[in-house]
Structure 1
């Protein structure tokens, strides 16, 4: 830490100057949010089917009676042993938000290509309650550009985050978030998607760290993150059965 140590008066002057920029960022965020709300929509024509603990469900079923659906594209491939640490980090922040989202006519669902049994096992390990389904039986992940076949990765370019990237910068699974709307006729529209660091603002821990003296204290994006049960001081799971 090499920060300059100054008087309270000098600190107040610097803090006021930063406050102006923080207000600019807030106003810019408001304008970006307004433009996000004004984006055109695309009608979803394909009938997607998902595997769930309660059987197969359509995309319409995932709305769970609400008009808005947020899908988190969670990185957990069919042959993965555990979920992505970064996706797990974000997902640690979801359960507390669910009552507020549901009350606001929004349903949150995580989607992965792993089979339901593997999803349920990892979900139980992490202690999460949010809905999580498998898209293994459909093209959903491929159509929304978060899963890539060996043929995709063997080509010259991969389409991710609305652009073409070298396949060596990709993986068989990548993160993202997509939003959908269902009207009274039952028609479904794709309204928004965000990839890479786009959903970062959903991770409240990062927003707190950004205000701590050392910030994120990282060498590369989120390189400090582990699954919450893998930290040295993480509580150990009980071996007792109840």
Structure 2
């Protein structure tokens, strides 16, 4: 333990000083949220087809009758045997949000390039319920800069997180989240995307750890994360809650 141990009065003084910074962060976040919602939109004119458990669907179909669609670009390539551990960590947070999102006119769907059969098998293994479809054979992942060909990776540069990055720092699949809107005429618009660490705020586990004494306690981003069925000792409920 490296933190100093002080009196309650000294702790309260330090805590109030930190509260000033936290309030500044909240106000800054409110401004960023407003700027995000005021971004211009881009109409999607290209037709994308997705494999789903109920057959082929277009991007417009994925809205499922709602006017807003959130797509999580889940890293799961066609040749992979399992989904990305980091994406799986995020996916563990989703099912409980679905009823609230759906009743707020928002549909959530995960999209991966893995064939649907692989997605369905992995989804069963993880015990998830959220909609998850395959973009295998579609340009969707490539157009939204979360999948890259071998030639692109070997070419020296790829475009990710709105900038060029070295191909040797990337992989064939990378994470992100994209937002879409649909108007009454059926037109679909791309409204927002974030990549890399841009979606951390939806990871409530991280938000809790950020308030814990040791924080995230990681050697690199998400270095502590495993698929939830791969931890050596499965977490058990506290005896007072069992």
TM-score by length of 2: 0.96
In structure 1, the partner of 2:30 is 30
Secondary structure at the aligned position of 2:224 is classed as: coil
Q: Distance in 2 between matches of 1:233 and 1:52?
A: 35
Q: Contact between 1:157 and 1:165, CA under 8 Å: does it hold in 2? A: yes
Structure 1 unaligned segments of length 5 or more: list them. Answer: 236-242
- In the TM superposition, residue 54 of structure 1 has moved relative to its aligned partner by 1.1
In structure 2, the partner of 1:238 is none
Runs of 4+ aligned residues of structure 1 deviating over 2 Å after TM superposition are none
In structure 1, the partner of 2:133 is 133
Q: Distance in 1 between matches of 2:133 and 2:83?
A: 14
Q: Distance in 2 between matches of 1:111 and 1:97?
A: 17
Secondary structure at the aligned position of 2:60 is classed as: helix
Q: Contact between 2:218 and 2:224, CA under 8 Å: does it hold in 1? A: yes
- In the TM superposition, residue 233 of structure 1 has moved relative to its aligned partner by 2.0
Aligned length: 236
In structure 2, the partner of 1:61 is 61
- In the TM superposition, residue 223 of structure 1 has moved relative to its aligned partner by 0.3
In structure 1, the partner of 2:226 is 226
- For 1:156-171, list aligned pairs within 5 A: 156-171=156-171
TM-score by length of 1: 0.96
Q: Distance in 2 between matches of 1:83 and 1:113?
A: 11
In structure 1, the partner of 2:107 is 107
Q: Contact between 2:85 and 2:227, CA under 8 Å: does it hold in 1? A: yes
In structure 2, the partner of 1:4 is 4
1:95 aligns with 2:63: no
Q: Distance in 2 between matches of 1:27 and 1:178?
A: 24
Secondary structure at the aligned position of 1:207 is classed as: helix
Superposed CA RMSD:
1.0
Task: Summarize deviations over 1:66-85 as a string: whole Å, max 9, x none.
Answer: 00000000000000011000
- In the TM superposition, residue 53 of structure 1 has moved relative to its aligned partner by 1.2
Q: Distance in 2 between matches of 1:218 and 1:188?
A: 40
In structure 1, the partner of 2:238 is none
In structure 1, the partner of 2:188 is 188
Q: Contact between 1:98 and 1:130, CA under 8 Å: does it hold in 2? A: yes
Q: Contact between 2:178 and 2:194, CA under 8 Å: does it hold in 1? A: yes
Q: Contact between 1:51 and 1:137, CA under 8 Å: does it hold in 2? A: no
- In the TM superposition, residue 137 of structure 1 has moved relative to its aligned partner by 2.4
